[in-house]
Amino acid sequence: MAVYIASTTTSVGFARGFHLSKPFFGGLGTIKNNGLELKSSSLRSLSLVGAPAKLSTCHPFLQLRGGAPPPSESPSSKKFSALASDTEDSIDNSKEIENAASTCMRSPTCGLSITGTIPPPLDFGGITYLDTTSLTENNAHRVIFILGGPGAGKGTQSERIVDTYKCVHLSVGELLRSGAENENYPHADMVKECLVQGKIVPVELSLGLLRTAMDEKAAEEGSYGSRIFLVDGFPRNYDNVQGWMEHMPTYTSVLGALVYNCPMEILEQRILSRAETSGRSDDNLTSARRRFDTFRRETEPVVRALEMVQAMQSTENEGNGGQILIVNIDGTGSIEEVWDTTENAMNSYIKNDILTANSNLLKAIEDGDIKAFNKLCADNLSIEIIKGDIRERYNSISARDLFEKHETKMTSNVASISNASIQILDGVKAFVSYENGGSRERREWHHGPKGW
């Protein structure tokens, strides 16, 4: 259990939920874990420090989720435009991408929400975040699209995301192949025929399999609540996006996309190396070049369209970011270098759930709502009161005792929160610190079966 130490402090620690510290006369804090001090350089975390922010209503177009500033110029567009092949039919690829993206933006179906109802960005002590309460209440699956050319590192990075953030990785291609071999799947013959003949499987079948897989994973006992699903290799083209918006908004909330960009010459080297052990029939230069060209022609316009949405939403929100976060990642570096960027992006997604939980907790205290408070707490709680050199620690106390004996005696006003900061450690643990009623509070959150 982490401990916050300050001069004259009341500190509360939770197995799941939060850790609270209240310095009555101010003072600096030191975070410790199992008696070992964690220096700032050892924290693999996202640190955000709040600043005043203005908010406005969200543009009605595509209520997507995220929270990053608008891209000044698409890194993926620059990289892939520069890599256009010398063949005659690909000379104007950059223009084709922009035209295709504009066509996607103008489609009537783009008026549908790809993520359901997500409100505009809110402010928590100067940090902009998105309230994800409605996702939890409606059991909507959180989704991040994983996109990139063959050999760009999608699989490698997805494995690390799953391990660190306890996400679920789903490949639409693998789901289709499994469905084709499942005798209990009513459309098995149709899917098998499409795969054998190289035809595109109807998008409603692909999405039906994906939705079933997400439902099954979410229902697993002992799993993490409010998990993020990494949908690998989808959407590949505009038809995929159109199908998603027609069939999935009720069930899912798209947080954004991680787009791994890598030039063709590096992709070729990686695929040749992978072919030595992978056993995949498509791990050859001919297939790789064909798949890269398909990505550039069909998937890149989808990325550009989503970037346009992000930029437009950020403008509507007066520069406070959109409801979607598209992150272009340079895949040319080492695995660790690419992971650093991936980790920062993932922290940007999950900080919305963390700050939503912290905000809801303060509202429960402010309203005297013990039921709402209890939902955000673990079964076994602990409290440590630190005043100067004197420490008093109590373990295994109930949420009700904590609520009645400590929380309700402290000032709790969400509107008065200021100077907030957040640190996310190892994907499943976070510290949220802020000033509240003249004191500094630090709460510790854990990701568990109930979510954050």
Q: Is a pLDDT exceeding 70 seen at residue 400?
A: yes
Question: What residues contact 331, with CB distance under 8 A and at least 6 apart?
Answer: 148, 152, 153, 260, 261, 262, 266, 338
**Helix, strand, coil tally for the chain in percent (to 5):** 45, 20, 35
Contact 226, 168 (CB under 8 A): no
Structure tokens at 199: 């035809």
Question: What residues contact 191, with CB distance under 8 A and at least 6 apart?
Answer: 176, 179, 180, 185, 201, 205
Mean pLDDT of 387-412: 78
Q: Is a pLDDT exceeding 90 seen at residue 38?
A: no
Count the Cβ atoms, other than its own, within 10 Å of residue 79.
18
Q: Please tell me which residue, 374 or 437, carries the higher pLDDT value.
A: 374
Q: Is a pLDDT exceeding 70 seen at residue 203?
A: yes
Which pLDDT belongs to residue 22? 36
**51-55, 136-140, 176-180, 447-451: range with lowest mean pLDDT:** 51-55
Q: What is the DSSP string of 273-296?
A: HHHHHH--TT-SHHHHHHHHHHII
Q: Is a pLDDT exceeding 70 seen at residue 205?
A: yes
Mean pLDDT of 228-242: 90
Residue 316 three-state SS: helix
Structure tokens at 443: 């709460």
Q: What is the DSSP string of 400-451?
A: HHHHHHTGGGS---GGG-EEEEEEEETTTEEEEEEEETTEEEEEEEE-BTTB
Structure tokens at 328: 């272009």
Q: How far apart are CA 423 and CA 442, in angstroms?
A: 11
**Residue carrying structure tokens 């929400």:** 113
Which pLDDT belongs to residue 282? 59
Per-residue pLDDT band at 413 (split at 50, 70, 90): confident
Which pLDDT belongs to residue 96? 58
Per-residue pLDDT reduced to its tens digit, 317-332: 888 888 899 999 999 9
Per-residue pLDDT band at 314 (split at 50, 70, 90): confident
Per-residue pLDDT reduced to its tens digit, 251-309: 899 999 999 998 877 877 777 777 777 666 556 777 777 778 878 888 899 999 889 88
Q: How far apart are CA 244 and CA 268, in angstroms?
A: 31
CA distances for 448 relative to 135, 223, 270, 429, angstroms? 17, 8, 37, 10
Whole-model pTM? 0.76
Q: How far apart are CA 348 and CA 47, in angstroms?
A: 10
Per-residue pLDDT band at 382 (split at 50, 70, 90): confident
Q: Please tell me which residue, 129 or 313, carries the higher pLDDT value.
A: 129
Q: Please tell me which residue, 262 or 432, carries the higher pLDDT value.
A: 432
Mean pLDDT of 337-357: 97
**131-135, 229-233, 252-256, 280-284: range with lowest mean pLDDT:** 280-284
Q: Please tell me which residue, 53 or 176, carries the higher pLDDT value.
A: 176
Which pLDDT belongs to residue 103? 57
Q: Please tell me which residue, 210 or 86, carries the higher pLDDT value.
A: 210
Which pLDDT belongs to residue 61? 30
Residue 77 three-state SS: helix
Q: Is a pLDDT exceeding 80 seen at residue 89?
A: no
Per-residue pLDDT band at 228 (split at 50, 70, 90): very high
Q: How far apart are CA 22 and CA 441, in angstroms?
A: 5
Per-residue pLDDT band at 338 (split at 50, 70, 90): very high
**66-80, 173-187, 216-230, 408-422: range with lowest mean pLDDT:** 66-80
**63-77, 174-188, 258-272, 285-299: range with lowest mean pLDDT:** 63-77
| Chain length of the chain | 452
